[in-house]
Amino acid sequence: MTIATPLPPSSPEHSASGLDQVIAAETRLSHVDGAAGRLILRGYDLADLAGWRFEEVLALLWADLTPISLDAHSISAALGAARLYAFHLMEPLLPATDALSEVEALRLLLAALPDDSKPPHPVLAVAAVPVFTAAIARRRRGLEPVPPMADLGLATDFLHMLHGQPATQAQIRGLEAYLVTVADHGLNASTFAARVIASTKAGLFSSVLGGLCALKGPLHGGAPGPVLDMLDAIGNDAAIRPWLSAALDRGERLMGFGHRIYRVRDPRADVLKGAVSALGADSARIRFAQAVEAQALALLAERKPERALQTNVEFYTALLLEALGFDRTSFTNVFAAGRMAGWTAHVLEQEMTGRLMRPQSLYTGPWPA
Ligand code: ACO
């Protein structure tokens, strides 16, 4: 690992607010080219992964990092067994989540994964999130959790555990596309958090739990629910421009727009837009969302020309997950289900190759007299 920007103490010009341009880890897993709007996962452009199953992407990301047998079939079988393990572990704890938001409930249940658990840790971490997410969502609707079916693929079983009935092929393809699209994304805030914790050798479950805690924020993985809130609040075509203008006048951020790295359109937004259309989602909803997107981009270009703000992954995530029958309060948890692929791979890579992460800070407080 290299730190590209040395930070001599007491040099304000070297203070790296937001850590832009700081290279804090080396990785073979993924690369985000913000200028070109390109996402590469282990040698594949995101577009090349269209039609891949989530298990195949896991095999790609985990290659060379774990002794687990890495063909997609073995991974699928191991995930199925681990889903059953996670379900039984979860059942007595589920009532304790009632007073919590859905992402807080997921945080509680993930925290209960024991470091001495039998299934391999990366497998259990990936398997547990859909089990917990579906059970939490059903409990909010007053429904009992649906036990996993170990022989199904993860996306298929996720929808089955959520709805209590078999999913259609179109729904499965839609969720598969989503999980693959968000599986990994360079050193984003949650992955960085997971790698920092992994660098202390705290263990995989602690590391990915830290990742979830970072993902929870509205500036990162907490945005797609608010995207739907925004569409609902705008309501109709005539209100689009005045509503967006007033929000910007109040200094608010428009959810689903802007990105730290991308200065052109987020390539994931296009993949998910395609997945929404392929699913045959409510066409009036999609058309309205596109009208909001167009007006928002025009206004952001007027108001923040220097920032080149574009649509990000969260905008079409919101429409896709809504069409798949997830409540907006579950969206961050579904994001975590996909991103767990990247978190586990980064944690394994960090544990294998990285040093303890210990950057410096620039002291701006008073000195002793
Ligand atoms: N709406 C309005 N203004 C925006 C937006 C937005 N969505 N995004 C950035 N800006 C403005 C900021 O207000 C700021 O203006 P100022 O310099 O006049 O104060 C300027 O652009 C730069 O803002 P930064 O926070 O420095 O930009 P950064 O690149 O760090 O932020 C972020 C990226 C957090 C994603 C931001 O664009 C945002 O808040 N977007 C809305 C939330 C969102 O969609 N999050 C999901 C991101 S994708 C993901 O994490 C999976």
Angle formed by the axes of helices 331-353 and 313-323, nearest 10°: 120
Task: Round the average pLDDT of the chain to a whole number and report it.
Answer: 92
For residue 256 and ligand 1, the question of a CB distance below 6 A is answered with yes
Region 261-267: mean pLDDT is: 87
Region 265-287: mean pLDDT is: 86
**Lowest mean pLDDT segment, chosen from 109-113, 156-160, 271-275, 345-349:** 271-275
| pLDDT digits 0-9 by tens, 301-333 | 999 999 889 999 989 999 999 999 999 999 999
With respect to residue 59, please indicate whether it lies within any of the assigned structural domains: yes
ipTM computed for the complex? 0.94
Residues catalogued as catalytic: 259, 314
Region 16-36: mean pLDDT is: 91
Structure confidence at residue 218 (pLDDT): 86
With respect to residue 360, please indicate whether it lies within any of the assigned structural domains: no
- CA Rg, the chain, in Å? 21
The CATH number given to whatever domain includes residue 229 is 1.10.230.10
Instruction: Show the domain range for 236.
Output: 224-323
Structure confidence at residue 93 (pLDDT): 98
pTM as predicted: 0.91
With respect to residue 99, please indicate whether it lies within any of the assigned structural domains: yes
Domain count for the chain, please give it: 2
Dist. CA 18 → ligand 1 center (Å)? 12
Distance CA 351, CA 330 (A): 30
Q: Based on the fold, state whether residues 209 and 114 are members of the same structural domain.
A: yes
> Over 70: is that where the pLDDT of 8 sits?
no
Q: Based on the fold, state whether residues 51 and 76 are members of the same structural domain.
A: yes
Region 263-269: mean pLDDT is: 87
With respect to residue 365, please indicate whether it lies within any of the assigned structural domains: no
Q: Which residue has its alpha carbon closest to ligand 1 atom 39?
A: 219
Q: Based on the fold, state whether residues 212 and 236 are members of the same structural domain.
A: no
Q: Which residue has its alpha carbon closest to ligand 1 atom 50?
A: 220
Burial of 334-357, coded b for 16+ CB within 10 Å and e otherwise, reads bbbbbbbbbbbbbbbbbbeebeeb
Q: Which residue has its alpha carbon closest to ligand 1 atom 25?
A: 260
Kindly indicate the confidence band of residue 4, based on its pLDDT and cuts at 50, 70 and 90: very low
Atom of ligand 1 nearest to the CA of 260: 29
With respect to residue 233, please indicate whether it lies within any of the assigned structural domains: yes
For residue 309 and ligand 1, the question of a CB distance below 6 A is answered with yes
**Lowest mean pLDDT segment, chosen from 38-47, 186-195, 302-311, 331-340:** 302-311
> Over 80: is that where the pLDDT of 9 sits?
no
> Over 90: is that where the pLDDT of 16 sits?
no
Dist. CA 16 → ligand 1 center (Å)? 18
Six-digit token string for 22: 């700081």
> Over 60: is that where the pLDDT of 3 sits?
no
Atom of ligand 1 nearest to the CA of 313: 48
Indicate the residue among 282, 303, 323 that finishes a domain.
323
For residue 39 and ligand 1, the question of a CB distance below 6 A is answered with no
The CATH number given to whatever domain includes residue 135 is 1.10.580.10
Structure confidence at residue 6 (pLDDT): 44
Region 244-258: mean pLDDT is: 95
